[in-house]
Amino acid sequence: MLGPPWWWADNGIDLQPGDPIELEGFESPDHMEVNWIKNLRTGQCIDLRTPSGMPVLIGVFLYREPFTFGRLFGFAIIWAAVGVFIFDNIRAQRGVPVL
C-alpha cells in the first residue's frame, strides 16, 4: 500500500489502483520506506527521499503537506537539542569548566 488514494489525488499525482509502478526503498523494522516511485503508465516520478534516505523537505512547500504546531514544536526541540550538543562539545574541547 502506498498510502491513501486521496493523498495522491489531492497533491496532483495521477496514481490509480492497478497502475504499474517501479519504486526504490528500504525496510524499516515494521514497514518499508520508499525513496522514489515511478508510475509506469504516466511516466511521472516522485522523489520522496533524498539519495541519503532523508525525507524530502519540499513536501511541505511544494505539495503543501501539513506542518502542524506539533510538528513545528518537535522540529524546534530536536534542533535545540542539536544546538546544545554542539555547544557542549565546543565547550569541552576548549576546556571550559562546567558551571
Instruction: Count each helix (H run) and each strand (E run) in the chain, helices first.
Output: 3, 3
The domain ranges of the chain are 1-65, 67-99
- Per-residue pLDDT tens listing for the chain (99 residues): 566 777 777 767 888 888 898 988 888 787 777 888 898 999 888 877 766 566 666 566 666 666 677 777 877 888 899 999 999 888 888 887 766
Predicted confidence at residue 73, as pLDDT, reads: 82
For the chain, the straight-line distance linking the first and the last C-alpha, in angstroms and rounded, comes to: 53
Q: Which three cell numbers stand for residue 69?
A: 504546531
- Secondary structure of residue 57 in the 3-state scheme: coil
* DSSP type of residue 31: S
Do residues 17 and 26 touch, judged by C-beta distance below 8 A? no
Prediction pTM value: 0.46
Q: How many Å apart are CA 40 and CA 45, to the nearest integer?
A: 9
